[in-house]
């Protein structure tokens, strides 16, 4: 929902006399409750498709925009008999469900989710977007911001989202030693982590709020902070949309931050590296290899950088050249992992995929164009959830020249 808010502002500017309704689930309503561009919120009641579409039909809408790719929301607008229906054509029946549609632009791993949403507005001949238009915004009831307050978000969900509690406690302890007040926030599943940290770090400057706040209260509390430290979750996007500086650690090395990085705010991004032998699925993987490769000192170095304002709002530079802050010095950067093949063909296709998985390949360089190049990218993204960057030309590079070339190529896009 947070990444949908730019759409509301742009629609209101282009249709100033219209009323804007947002159809969403109940837990999302607090995020847009105070948004001046939203006239009314319609809560999804999880009834049958026909019942829900009949409810929407009673509003007599003129325009329906679905930001979700699920076919349910396509048919929802169709059976609600809304005249103009806009959405992503990810179903063989999109020609029927939508009157205007486009393919979801997933091919570019650095195309932010907000930019993907804006593709739908182009179908309505809305083509001009400023940087402010592309920045998510949340409006809270908080009246002040404390310069020395840090929100640390905890995630108690199962599998690989649970980071080592002792590492988080170490971060909290050192932030307090630096003179910061620390708030711990999270849902009910995070309460045991908050209790552990509170027992390990005894201080009046630590407030454990895990499992005690509603989403609206959490939003207001985050807005009183200057810094946010935590996983790549919805709270990260909320903090960024409130203008809070973000230090975020992504949970798996194969997850591409380019689509879901904190937009429009200074941030530091930490992404794990290492030789993980497992096929990656961020939601189902039960192994902690990726997350355990991140240490408290990495997060604290990132925090120091953002305090010194040595931060980045450029995801292309951040992802490819700052992916993980080196442990030996502030400015140490990891090399981009790459592989060179003269041409991707049927003989080396499987071998290249295995290499991408085993060596965490971010860049594939092929000297010769081939239809298999595109098939390779499709397989790695859809099957193993990896997003390598493909360069096709007949130039040869050293490793250092590769890094410089990639930076130049991305910045000229």
Same fold, 2-122 and 149-321: yes
Residue 165 confidence (pLDDT):
87
DSSP character at residue 328 = S
CB atoms closer than 10 angstroms to residue 294: 22
3 state SS of 119: helix
Say how many C-beta atoms besides its own lie within 10 A of residue 188's C-beta: 10
Which pLDDT value is given to residue 101? 92
Q: What is the pLDDT of residues 4-45, one digit of tens each?
A: 999 999 999 999 999 999 999 988 999 998 899 999 999 998
Rounded mean pLDDT for each run of 10 residues along the chain, 413 residues in total:
94 94 91 92 90 94 92 93 92 89 74 88 91 90 83 75 84 94 91 92 93 92 93 90 89 64 84 56 62 81 81 45 29 47 69 72 64 74 65 50 47 37
pLDDT value, residue 359: 65
- Edge-to-edge strand order for the sheet containing 206-208? 206-208, 181-185, 149-153, 227-231, 245-249, 267-270
Domain locations in the chain as residue ranges = 2-122, 149-321, 338-411
371 CB contacts (<8 Å, ≥6 apart)? none
| Measured distance CA(30)–CA(213) in Å, rounded | 12
Classified by CATH at the fold level, domain 2-122 comes out as Rossmann fold (3.40.50)
Domain range 149-321, CATH class: alpha beta
> Global pTM?
0.75
DSSP per residue over 172-235, as a string?
A: HHHHHHTT-EEEEE--GGGHHHHHHHHHHS--TTEEE-TTT--HHHHHHHHHT-SEEEEESSHH
């Amino acid at each position: 929902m947070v990444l949908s808010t730019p759409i509301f502002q742009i629609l209101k500017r282009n249709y100033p006399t219209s009323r804007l309704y947002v159809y969403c689930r109940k837990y999302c309503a607090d995020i847009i409750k105070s948004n001046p561009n939203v006239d009314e919120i319609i809560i999804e009641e999880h009834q049958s498709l026909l019942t829900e579409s009949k409810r929407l039909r009673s509003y007599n809408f003129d325009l329906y925009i679905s930001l979700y790719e699920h076919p349910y929301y396509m048919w929802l607008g169709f059976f609600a008999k809304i005249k103009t229906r806009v959405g992503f054509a990810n179903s063989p029946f999109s020609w029927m469900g939508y009157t205007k549609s486009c393919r979801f632009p997933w091919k570019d791993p650095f195309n932010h989710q907000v930019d993907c949403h804006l593709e739908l507005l182009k179908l309505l001949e809305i083509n001009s977007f400023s940087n402010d238009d592309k920045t998510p915004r949340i409006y809270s009831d908080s009246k002040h911001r404390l310069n020395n307050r840090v929100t640390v978000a905890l995630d108690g969900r199962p599998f690989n989202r649970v980071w080592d509690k002792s590492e988080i406690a170490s971060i909290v302890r050192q932030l307090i030693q630096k003179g910061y007040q620390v708030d711990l926030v999270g849902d009910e599943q995070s309460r045991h982590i908050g209790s552990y940290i509170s027992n390990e770090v005894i201080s009046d400057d630590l407030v454990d709020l895990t499992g005690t706040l509603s989403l609206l209260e959490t939003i207001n509390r985050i807005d009183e902070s200057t810094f946010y430290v935590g996983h790549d979750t919805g709270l990260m996007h909320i903090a960024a949309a409130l203008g809070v500086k973000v230090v975020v650690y992504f949970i798996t090395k194969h997850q591409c931050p380019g689509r879901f990085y904190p937009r429009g705010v200074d941030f530091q991004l930490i992404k794990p590296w290492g030789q993980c032998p497992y096929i990656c699925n961020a939601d189902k993987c039960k192994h902690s290899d990726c997350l355990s490769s991140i240490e408290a000192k990495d997060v604290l170095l990132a925090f120091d950088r953002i305090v010194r304002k040595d931060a980045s709002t450029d995801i292309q530079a951040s992802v490819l050249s700052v992916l993980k802050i080196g442990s030996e010095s502030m400015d140490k950067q990891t090399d981009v992992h790459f592989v060179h093949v003269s041409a991707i063909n049927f003989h080396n296709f499987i071998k290249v995929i295995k290499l991408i998985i085993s060596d965490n390949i971010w860049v594939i360089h092929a000297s010769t164009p081939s239809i298999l190049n595109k098939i390779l990218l499709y397989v790695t993204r859809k099957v193993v959830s990896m997003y390598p960057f493909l360069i096709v030309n007949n130039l040869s590079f050293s490793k250092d020249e590769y890094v410089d070339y990639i930076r130049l190529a991305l910045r000229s896009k």
